[in-house]
Structure 1
Amino acid sequence: MPQEPKRRHSRQRQGKRRASISFSLLRLGECKNCHHAKTADFMTVD
């Protein structure tokens, strides 16, 4: 059987959890071709 939540989580608790998953700015780097700040996954390669 699938697991079901025992109790409803408040919006405040839900927001605190989602805040810790926020996007980190440390992974940004400057693209060598277009000189924009981008994540390492989306750097343009030429």
Structure 2
Amino acid sequence: MPIMGHIWDINAHMKFTEFHEMSFFNILNTLKKTHALGRSLVIFKIPASHS
């Protein structure tokens, strides 16, 4: 029984790590998109403010 519990712990840990990496990747991706959007908005605003 302890062996089964140990295997379950390892499996749960791997799943948790996988989930953690996925959410971290998603957050990074979202930040990149937001940053790119922010930059293009700034680039778009500069000519408008000059005219």
Tell me the TM-score normalised to structure 2 length.
Answer: 0.31
RCO higher in 1 or 2 (8 Å CA, sep ≥ 6)? 1
Tell me the TM-score normalised to structure 1 length.
Answer: 0.32
Q: Which has the higher helix share?
A: 2
Structure showing greater radius of gyration is: 2
